Amino acid sequence: MSPAQASAIAASPRDGALEVLRERGQREVFCGLTGIVWLHRKMQDAFFLVVGSRTCAHLLQSAAGVMIFAEPRFATAIIEERDLAGMADCHAELDRVVERLLARRPEIRTLFLVGSCPSEVIKLDLGNAAQRIGARHLKGENGSEGVRILAYSGSGIETTFTEGEDACLTTLVPEMPAEAPGAAQSLVMVGTLPDIVEDQFLRLFAELGITNVGVLPARRAGALPVVGPNTRYLLAQPFLGETARALEDRGAVRIDAPFPFGADGTAAWLSAAAAAFGIDEMHVNRVIAPGRERAKRALERYRPALEGKRITFLPDSQLEIPLARFLATELGMIPVEVGTPYLHRAHLAADLARLPEGTRISEGQDVERQLDRVRADRPDLTVCGLGLANPLEAEGLSTKWSIELVFSPVHGFDQAGDLAELFARPLRRRDVLRI
Amino acid sequence: MQLAVWTYEGPPHVGAMRVATAMRGVHYLLHAPQGDTYADLLFTMIERRSARPPVTYTTFQARDLGKDTASLFQNAARDAVERFQPQALLVGASCTAELIQDDPAGLAANMKLPCPVIPLELPSYQRKENWGAAETFYQIVRHLADTSVRPAPREGRRPCVNLLGPAALGFRHRDDVREIRRILDLLGIDVHLVAPLGASPEDIRTIGAADFNIVLYPEIGDEAARWLDKTFAQPAIRTVPIGVGATRAFINEVAALAGVDPALALDDPSSRMPWWSRSVDSTYLTGKRVFIFGDATHAVAAARIAHEELGFTVCGLGCYNREFARDIRIAAKEYGVEPLITDDHLTVEEAIAAAAPELVLGTQMERHIAKRLGVPCAVISSPVHVQDFPARFSPQMGFEGANVIFDTWVHPLVMGLEEHLLTMFRDDFEFSDAAGPSHLHGHSKPEPVLAPAGDIVMTAEAAPAAEGDLGWTAEAERELRKIPFFVRGKAKRNTEKYAGEMGLAAITLETLYDAKAHYAR
């Protein structure tokens, strides 16, 4: 075993209490390209063009399942041997593909050129290509709205799964209009949420009295919120480190909160936003009480099934820590190991602080050794990717496949019960089957 | 660069994974970036395998580039051999690792590993999945076959064969092997080895002990079979036994080569397909236009069944794997259609729309194209989705395979009686358009062929007439709506084409029936 692969138990200098198992080795995770699958559903006039290999196209097809067939707003420009012969040729080819694409899909207002492992290894400068092609499309036909062309990396060498969304949103931040000098304080909710959840949160903000609310990403290219020193931003997703940094570069200030999973998580998240806007606590409680009550009622139905059950999360999306917090504090589950591909200590501080004493937290992965730990721990439920789920089931371990947690509506009061159901269902199934 | 949303084949290293996963005692060390492990779930989810594929990915990240990707590879090799104790280690690169030029073969050779190491050169930017599988299997056979092993003398033993080509993620490979074993058993022939599916490196060592080879899937097994013929003088049977006729030919060839009586397998009482196809209910199948697309082997076999065994008219034939385009060209000539050799699904979609078939036979992609066009469809070839790795026995090969094919292809078509009823009672509330096609999956309503009734309806497609658009009179349009939905599109197209050729300004009731007479079969 090499030092690079040896695992190290590193105590953080910032909080002596938190021990994190750091591992390097084989990782069983998606790359950031996968983010396209839900990002393109959210941004209704955006197109995602991956510049990559046949492998990239194959991955998207495997991850997007049947979405491939509904005239999707994503595609891969597959690099072929002749593109590798010389760089100039490569740029000319890319121009040709993009022009053809924009001619075919005139409704597109934002085009993302998405970098992949192959495009990065051959040092194909997509940022430069985006500027060059973008200059030609500043204005559409007869002065109509043009096409904004941006570039980000979703490659496996740079990004893990949901980090693809982080990279994508980071490129949108410079595109946000600057707020007017002396503008009133505004709120930006950051992170892709299903429309139904986003609408619930916007209604709650309005009821709280926070009227000036924007969403990143916006559903349409022209609807990006303003940003500046009077902007407060609230993360709806835990995997947005780079986006947060870009927002802060433009003067925005983060509201610290746990992530909005479950009754208490959502209440704390909304309360943190209300506090930042100086809203009276009595009013806040009045507004969130009904939703919180509904969520608690829904969760009570699942408590008998989940209480006392031991759960392990394998690293996947960075949602692991807030979800473990939710399951432990609101449903009485016992997190054994909580693995995350990357741990942003500042953004997750509120959730980390609420995790039960003795939870093993791991960052990164050496999949074989981690599976050895799963076999030794024998948790009641293992949250993992689809490459591992059936093999673990065959070993007699119940699993919950993790991707569903990224695609399904799980945030907020009215999804708390649905979120608990996702974890309860495999256990219930294990108990009902008599074969 | 090729713009693609859908790709019929994965990259060549996925083909290598299919071979490694099919075998026992083999491990594949793949130099690849983080994220390439997505391919594992093709095996664990689509094929529902209960174990992870035997693949270790080095999963290098950006911070490793330019410094220790080579040592990362060697560490991963050491760990994998120690943990899995394989009888043979495959080493290779995915598309990204191919670009960083670490030379997996050289790196592994220097390590003096305790098992044979088989390097794979799979050019990701020129080749694809099937080629990768064929090349991998060929390299395995070449490296592991003991060239001193020869068949035992024939006196006092049954003939024995190798079955080459079945792999993981293969369309119906599991059940095809079972069905072919049954046929060989009837003939009194032993199977020495099935490979790669279920074979170990030790099994491959003795591959020379068989009298001859049967290549079930040329896309994967042919390369190895050619080398075996050269090295061991093992002839190969290349007739693919899909369909009744092809199965009979296959049995005759195998029996001749083995020196046994073919009648032992030819008179199989479980072969029901010929009678099903001759029975009167199947009369309605006569001349149904069918468009066929898939891998070349399955497409050519399907065309023969469609033409000779079901009485369909083949109106389109193509494949996505260029390596076997020749087979498609020969078959297309036989049926008088233009061969379609492409891996671009948009081209396939255009060809299907232009051919206006009544049934599409294809891959998962054609299933979706057909759904969009409102045409019945059955799946005959990879790539396929999870429902085409069924729990039940469902081969494509042999007589049972032919039974399965008859049911599978005819099921989506409106059965003769139902078609008859639809025509007789087309205004009946239960058979009206609003009820939708009963034979397509419930929620997929076909696109309305016409806009809501107006006096003159402009057609959506550009009319062939030079004088501008062709309009339908209200009366003609009402009549068109009475035609059953599954032939209405064709009637509309034919009528408009006819009107265009005749230079008519509008389409009347007369035009509709003149066109019908004009195009009558």
Percent of chain B past pLDDT 70, that is, above it, reads 88
CATH 3.30.70.270 fits A186-281, yes or no: no
CA atoms within 13 A on the CB side of A304: 3
Question: Helix axis angle, B364-373 relative to B345-355, nearest 10°?
Answer: 50
- Give the per-residue SS3 of B431-482: CCHHHCCCCCCCCCCCCCCCCCCCCCEECCCCCCCCCCCCEECHHHHHHHHH
Token representation of residue A201: 């949160």
The answer to whether the Cβ–Cβ distance between A27 and B59 falls below 8 Å is yes
The answer to whether the Cβ–Cβ distance between B125 and A390 falls below 8 Å is no
The answer to whether the Cβ–Cβ distance between B128 and A28 falls below 8 Å is no
Nearest to A46 by CA among A112, A100, A133: A112
Contacts of B52 in chain A (CB under 8 A): 387-388, 391
What burial class does residue B75 get, using C-beta atoms within 10 Å of its C-beta: 0-12 exposed, 13-18 middle, 19+ buried? middle
- Do B160-267 and B417-443+471-520 share a fold? no
The answer to whether the Cβ–Cβ distance between A394 and B59 falls below 8 Å is no
Nearest to A80 by CA among B2, B97, B356, B283: B2
Task: Give the sheet arrangement for strand B55-57, strand by strand.
Answer: B55-57, B26-31, B88-93, B117-119
* Optimal mutation site among A31, A54, A67, A403, interface B, most CBs of chain B within 10 A: A54
Stretch A154-182: mean pLDDT, rounded?
Answer: 96
Confidence class for position B338, pLDDT limits 50, 70, 90: very high
The partner residue sitting opposite B4, judged by closest CB among A76, A117, A156, is A76
Q: Is A322 helix (H, G, I), strand (E, B) or coil?
A: helix
pLDDT confidence of residue A17? 55
The answer to whether the Cβ–Cβ distance between B10 and A55 falls below 8 Å is yes
pLDDT at B520 over 80: no
Contacts of A393 in chain B (CB under 8 A): 50
* Optimal mutation site among A58, A365, A397, interface B, most CBs of chain B within 10 A: A58
Q: Is A383 helix (H, G, I), strand (E, B) or coil?
A: strand
Nearest chain B residue to A58 by CA distance is B10
pLDDT at A351 over 90: yes
Q: Which run of H or E residues covers position A250?
A: none
Q: What secondary structure letter does DSSP report for B290? A: E
> Looking at the complex, does the CB of residue B37 fall below 8 Å from at least one CB of chain A?
yes
Sign of CA pseudo-dihedral B245, B246, B247, B252: positive
CB B168 within 8 A of CB B40: no
The partner residue sitting opposite A31, judged by closest CB among B5, B35, B83, is B35
Cis link prior to B412 (omega < 30° from 0)? no
The answer to whether the Cβ–Cβ distance between B75 and A2 falls below 8 Å is yes
pLDDT confidence of residue A139? 80
pLDDT confidence of residue B63? 85
* Record: fold of A32-159: Rossmann fold (3.40.50)
From first CA to last CA, the distance across chain A in angstroms is: 42
For residues B192 and B112, the model is more confident at B192
Phi and psi at residue A150, to the nearest 5°: -125, 160
Stretch A338-366: mean pLDDT, rounded?
Answer: 96
Contacts of A120 in chain B (CB under 8 A): 62
Q: Which run of H or E residues covers position A313?
A: strand A310-313
Nearest chain B residue to A119 by CA distance is B96
Contacts of B2 in chain A (CB under 8 A): 77-78, 80
The answer to whether the Cβ–Cβ distance between B5 and A118 falls below 8 Å is no
Residue A56, marked binder: yes
How many Å apart are CA B14 and CA B32, to the nearest integer? 12
CB B56 within 8 A of CB B27: yes
Please give the class, per CATH, of domain B417-443+471-520. mainly alpha
Average pLDDT in chain A: 92
How many Å apart are CA A19 and CA B147, to the nearest integer? 58
The answer to whether the Cβ–Cβ distance between B10 and A54 falls below 8 Å is yes
CA atoms within 13 A on the CB side of A363: 13
The partner residue sitting opposite A63, judged by closest CB among B4, B38, B48, is B38
> How far away is chain B from the Cα of A76, in angstroms, using its nearest Cα?
5
For residues B484 and B175, the model is more confident at B175
Domain ranges of chain A: 20-27+300-433, 32-159, 186-281
Annotated binding site of B: 36, 416-417
A-B CB pairs within 8 A amount to 188
pLDDT at B53 over 50: yes
Q: Is A228 helix (H, G, I), strand (E, B) or coil?
A: coil
pLDDT confidence of residue A13? 35
Contacts of A72 in chain B (CB under 8 A): 5
Average pLDDT in chain B: 89
In tens, the pLDDT along B147-179 reads 999 999 988 899 999 999 999 999 999 999 999
The answer to whether the Cβ–Cβ distance between A29 and B10 falls below 8 Å is no
CB B307 within 8 A of CB B335: yes
Contacts of A29 in chain B (CB under 8 A): 34-35, 37
pLDDT at B410 over 90: yes
Domain ranges of chain B: 12-129, 160-267, 272-411, 417-443+471-520
In tens, the pLDDT along A12-25 reads 333 445 789 999 88
Supply the DSSP string of B171-211, one letter for each residue. TTHHHHHHHHHHHHHHHT-EEEEEESTT--HHHHHTGGGSS
Q: Which amino acid is residue A362, in one-letter code?
A: S
> Looking at the complex, does the CB of residue B71 fall below 8 Å from at least one CB of chain A?
yes
Percent of chain A past pLDDT 90, that is, above it, reads 84
Stretch B429-452: mean pLDDT, rounded?
Answer: 47
Confidence class for position B68, pLDDT limits 50, 70, 90: confident
User: DSSP strand E in B114-156: where?
Assistant: 117-119
Stretch A162-172: mean pLDDT, rounded?
Answer: 97
The answer to whether the Cβ–Cβ distance between B61 and A2 falls below 8 Å is no
pLDDT at A367 over 50: yes
Nearest to B476 by CA among B461, B495, B463: B495
pLDDT at A419 over 70: yes
How many Å apart are CA A28 and CA B46, to the nearest integer? 18
Count other C-beta atoms under 10 Å from residue B417's C-beta.
10
> Looking at the complex, does the CB of residue B62 fall below 8 Å from at least one CB of chain A?
yes
Token representation of residue B129: 């999945």
Nearest chain B residue to A162 by CA distance is B35
How many Å apart are CA B391 and CA B374, to the nearest integer? 28
According to CATH, what is the number of the domain A20-27+300-433? 3.40.50.1980
Nearest to B254 by CA among B267, B271, B239, B243: B239
CB A198 within 8 A of CB A171: no
Active-site annotation holds for B388: no
Measure CA B448 to chain center: 31
Residue A168, marked binder: no
For residues B437 and B318, the model is more confident at B318
Judged by average pLDDT, the poorest of A123-137, A401-415, B189-203, B461-475 is B461-475
What CATH architecture applies to the domain B160-267? 3-Layer(aba) Sandwich (3.40)
Q: What secondary structure letter does DSSP report for A74? A: E
> Looking at the complex, does the CB of residue B130 fall below 8 Å from at least one CB of chain A?
no
* Optimal mutation site among B95, B101, B124, B128, interface A, most CBs of chain A within 10 A: B95
pLDDT confidence of residue A11? 31
> How far away is chain B from the Cα of A61, in angstroms, using its nearest Cα?
6
In tens, the pLDDT along A44-75 reads 999 999 999 999 999 999 888 767 766 789 99
Q: Is B291 helix (H, G, I), strand (E, B) or coil?
A: strand
The partner residue sitting opposite B37, judged by closest CB among A28, A69, A76, is A28
The answer to whether the Cβ–Cβ distance between B44 and A4 falls below 8 Å is no
pLDDT at A352 over 90: yes
According to CATH, what is the number of the domain B12-129? 3.40.50.1980
Output the CA angle A56-A58-A59, nearest 5 degrees.
65
The answer to whether the Cβ–Cβ distance between B44 and A389 falls below 8 Å is yes
Contacts of B49 in chain A (CB under 8 A): 390-391
Q: How far, CA to CA in Å, does A296 sit from each of A335, B98, B231?
A: 21, 53, 73
Question: Helix axis angle, B485-502 relative to B474-482, nearest 10°?
Answer: 140
Nearest to B118 by CA among B135, B101, B102: B135
Place of tokens 């009672």: B425
Task: Give the sheet arrangement for strand A253-254, strand by strand.
Answer: A213-216, A186-190, A231-235, A253-254
In tens, the pLDDT along B348-394 reads 999 999 999 999 999 999 999 998 888 889 999 999 999 999 999 99
Contacts of A1 in chain B (CB under 8 A): 75, 79
How many Å apart are CA B212 and CA B218, to the nearest integer? 15
* Optimal mutation site among A40, A365, A390, A403, interface B, most CBs of chain B within 10 A: A390
Contacts of B60 in chain A (CB under 8 A): 157
Contacts of B35 in chain A (CB under 8 A): 29-33, 59, 117, 155-156, 160
In tens, the pLDDT along B106-154 reads 999 889 999 999 999 999 999 999 999 999 999 999 999 999 999 999 8
Stretch B238-253: mean pLDDT, rounded?
Answer: 98
pLDDT confidence of residue A321? 98
Count other C-beta atoms under 10 Å from residue B188's C-beta.
14
pLDDT confidence of residue A85? 79
CB A67 within 8 A of CB A36: no
How many Å apart are CA B277 and CA B511, to the nearest integer? 36
The answer to whether the Cβ–Cβ distance between B368 and A158 falls below 8 Å is no
> How far away is chain B from the Cα of A123, in angstroms, using its nearest Cα?
11
User: DSSP strand E in A27-175: where?
Assistant: 46-52, 74-78, 110-115, 148-153
Supply the DSSP string of A350-377, one letter for each residue. HHHHHSPTT-EEEEE--HHHHHHHHHHH
In tens, the pLDDT along A270-314 reads 999 999 999 999 999 999 999 999 999 999 999 999 999 999 999
How many Å apart are CA A102 and CA A108, to the nearest integer? 7
Confidence class for position B463, pLDDT limits 50, 70, 90: very low
> How far away is chain B from the Cα of A207, in angstroms, using its nearest Cα?
39
The answer to whether the Cβ–Cβ distance between B2 and A389 falls below 8 Å is no
> Looking at the complex, does the CB of residue B41 fall below 8 Å from at least one CB of chain A?
yes
* Catalytic residue (choose from B68, B261, B281, B428): B281
Token representation of residue B124: 């990701």
Please give the class, per CATH, of domain B272-411. alpha beta
pLDDT confidence of residue B434? 56
